[in-house]
Structure 1
Amino acid sequence: MHEASLAPDPAPSGAAIAVRSLQAHEHARWDAFVEACPEATFFHRAGWHTIMQQGFRHDSHFLYAEQDGRIAGVLPLAHVRSRLFGSSLVSLPFCVYGGIAGGSAAVRLALDGAAQVLARRLGVGHLEYRWREVHEKAQEHAHASWLQSPLYATFRRPLLPEAEQNLLAIPRKQRAVVRKAMAAGLHSAVEHDLERFYPIYAASVHRLGTPVFARRHFALLRTVFGSDCDILTVYHGQQAQASVLLFYFRDEVLPYYGGGTPLARSTGANDFMYWEAMRRACERGCHLFDFGRSKLGTGAYAFKKNWGFAPQPLPYAYQLVRATALPEVNPLNPKYALFIRAWRRLPLPLANLLGPHIVRQLG
């Protein structure tokens, strides 16, 4: 789909709306809109088109509505085709947020209509919008034909101006863990390669029974997003114990992919890692810490609450197209328990070899 002409906007301007597909030369134009759009997120950036296409080999359909010669709303989509889990059109796979950003009601309806036409043409099982917040724009699409699955919550909180203020804002018990790590001499460094991050992260997700992303995925993220994508590693002496890949967007920081060694639990390296991400973000001028999404009822969910973050349910919306029910592709589904146990028993080199072929089908 390159362009679809739609009904005129009933707004006073009377300007017609056209829905178009993002082209390679339009990335800067798209990103300028995203940067200025209040409800847009890091995952609405045009760079994800490159990640989807080159990194995961998923066809991407980044739609934007144009009105009066300007972008008025965006909807990034990617088509995930999986022999294991079916076919879906998602905004956006491997990302915690998505959906339509910006625009009047007419613009949003135009983008939604184009996405539904595309979903039917592709013959997907379902169309999915990963809304971040429950607001009127999400509610427009939460009518009877859409389903919701209350599986995830996100954890976001403002950062205070001074690092010490942020430390004191952490609940006492959790703050004591951070202070103990400081006293033990743990320290952090911003890394410029994947040499310490990837082995720590791969081993960490293997212990959880989860397939790992390919190393090239993280290399591509660093290339595409540049200085908006950092790696922070925690050391005890010369020994790397925890590492996290961070995204920066406007005045927000998002620790996105993180892991620790078996020692990290006893030394507090994981806790110290997130504190250092917070402290460094404060120094960088960030005003919001996005702890990311977690599944309800999991250890990660409890961990973030222990930091004093209040969970905000994620109102993801799903519309069935060819499927008769939503696939329950998550580790909490009992049918995957055997797979998880078996995956943990795989030798790590074999898991790292096989993992990327499986994880790209998950979305």
Structure 2
Amino acid sequence: MYQLHTLSLRDEQAMAWDSFVNASDDATFFHLSGWQQVLADVGHQCYYLYATENNHIVGVLPLARVKSLLFGDALVSTPFCVYGGAVGAPPVKRYLEQQAIQLATRLQVQHIEFRYKTAQDNNLATRSSHAYFACELADTAEQILANVKKKQRAVLRHALNENLQFSLDSDTTEFYHTYSQSVRNLGTPVFSQAFFDKIMAVFAGQADILTVRQHNKAVSSVLSFYYKNEVLPYYGGGILQAKELKSNDFMYYQLMCHARSDKGCDRYDFGRSKIDSGAYHYKRHWGMQAVELPYQYQLITAKQLPNLSPNNPRYQYFIKLWQKLPLGVSQWLGPKLSRYLG
């Protein structure tokens, strides 16, 4: 029989947890124990459950509670992350899921969400409103370019002829200025710069920032993760002029080349997008196939799942209002709201 444990922030078992995750084929970067530090730092209560058998970890399930008056109360695996859910052999997964549901019932949250990357054989409800995009990385920059869809390849050739330069580092200053403009323009609250500093500190050696400049001015920037020979561009965007300059396209292409030649990655994970959204179609233009994400849910006190989509008419006024905010105001107010948008 399995024994259930909860990982604390200063737990010696964190190394054993990460060793298990590193050795598990279906575990992702977002299952690493370091995310508990990131989530706790913004104020979320974490419940990092793991199961042992004969004193060895046989399964893990990262969870955090996201509670607000505006967006509801849920237990999620895992907020701020595109992938989550239990890792282990099928019986261990089912055991951890049931333990999580019991926890959610004790906490009286509205629902529990498991962000599985692949379909699971259980009795939980599934809703696929997002898809992720990924591709293999060719050996050379020329081959990477050749593998891009023809129309997007023409865009990249145009960008490569612009007066654009890029650099890589771990300093969040220019990244934050650029990224916060991008999400403000989309009508989305931004995280604090301290949030990104925390990520860079926790995942030192597994993350970097690629910034594109024109005339020494940052126009696009992306914070990426590297894990299991895969690169994951995760937080990225550009200023208003980025679209005309094609600097975002230039940025993602240079990241592909850097990940392949300097980091030894052979796979590129372009992340998730809401199905049929602008970002969804943008990624398809690169020639990558959409793979629907089978997120799973269990209602606890709620009668139905909330609709937190930006397409929800309830949020349209808020989005339009946010797009008009001065950048400094959005940088001050955004972190107070973004922590609930996990």
Instruction: Note if 1:313 corresponds to 2:292.
Output: yes
Q: Give, as a single letter, the amino acid of the residue that structure 2 aligns with 1:36.
A: A
Q: Distance in 2 between matches of 1:361 and 1:53?
A: 13
Residues 193-241 of structure 1, C-alpha deviations (whole Å, 9 max, x = no match): 1121001100110011100111111000000000101100011231211
Deviation string, structure 1 residues 91-141 (Cα, Å, up to 9, x no partner):
0001000001122x321222111101100011100010001122xxx122x
TM-score (norm: length of structure 2): 0.97
Letter matched to residue 348 of structure 1:
L
Match of 1:50 in 2: 37
Report Cα offsets for 1:26-84 as digits up to 9, x if no partner: 21111111011000000000001101111x21110111110122111110000111111
1:202 aligns with 2:180: yes
Asked if the contact 2:36/2:46 (under 8 Å) is kept, the reply is yes
Equivalences, count: 339
Distance 1:213 1:196 in 2: 15
Whether 2:301 is the aligned partner of 1:322: answer yes
CA distance in 2, matches of 1:108, 1:150: 20
Q: Which moved more, 1:266-275 or 1:174-183?
A: 174-183
**SS of equivalent to 2:81:** coil
Q: Residue in 1 aligned with 2:16?
A: 29
Say if 1:63 and 1:77, in contact at 8 Å, map to a contact too. yes
Q: What is the CA-CA distance between 1:287 and the residue it aligns to? A: 1.1
What residue in structure 2 maps to residue 114 of structure 1?
Answer: 99
**Using the alignment, how far apart are the partners of 1:311 and 1:45 within structure 2?**
25
Is this contact kept in 1: 2:170–2:200, CA < 8 A? no
The CA distance in 2 between the partners of 1:217 and 1:228, in whole Å, is 16
- Could you tell me which of 79, 82, 88 is aligned with 1:96? 82
Alignment of 1:1-363 (within 5 A): 16-23=1-8, 24-54=11-41, 56-103=42-89, 105-134=90-119, 138-140=120-122, 143=123, 146-283=124-261, 284-363=263-342
SS in 2 for 1:226: coil
- Closer, same or farther in 2 for the Cα pair 1:29/1:332, shift >3 Å? same
Corresponding letter in the other structure for 1:166: I
In 2, Cα distance between equivalents of 1:233 and 1:208: 20
Gap runs ≥5 in structure 2: none
Render the CA deviation track for 1:252-295: whole Å, top value 9, x for unaligned: 10000001011111111000000011000111110110000001
1:348 shift after superposition: 1.6
Amino acid at match of 1:312: V
TM-fit CA distance, 1:172: 1.5
Contact 1:210 1:340 in 2 (8 A): yes
Q: Tell me, in whole angstroms, the C-alpha distance in 1 between the residues paired with 2:44 and 2:104.
A: 14
Matched residue SS, 1:157: strand
Q: For 2:93 and 2:269, how far apart are their aligned partners in 1?
A: 26
CA positional deviation for 1:149:
2.5
* Partners of 2:131 and 2:293 within 8 A in 1: yes
**CA separation in 2, counterparts of 1:362 and 1:236?**
32
Partner Cα separation in structure 1 for residue 190 and residue 55 of structure 2? 42
Question: Over aligned residues, Cα RMSD in angstroms?
Answer: 1.1
Distance of 2:213 and 2:83 partners within structure 1: 31
Q: Which amino acid in 2 is paired with 1:223?
A: A
Over 3 Å off, 4+ runs: none
Percent of counterpart pairs with the same letter? 44
| Cα contact 1:19–1:110 (8 A) shared by 2 | no
Q: For residues 38 and 217 of structure 2, what CA distance do their matches in structure 1 show?
A: 31
Supply the distance in 2 between the matched residues of 1:162 and 1:297 (Cα, whole angstroms).
32
Give distance in 1, aligned partners of 2:236 and 2:93.
35
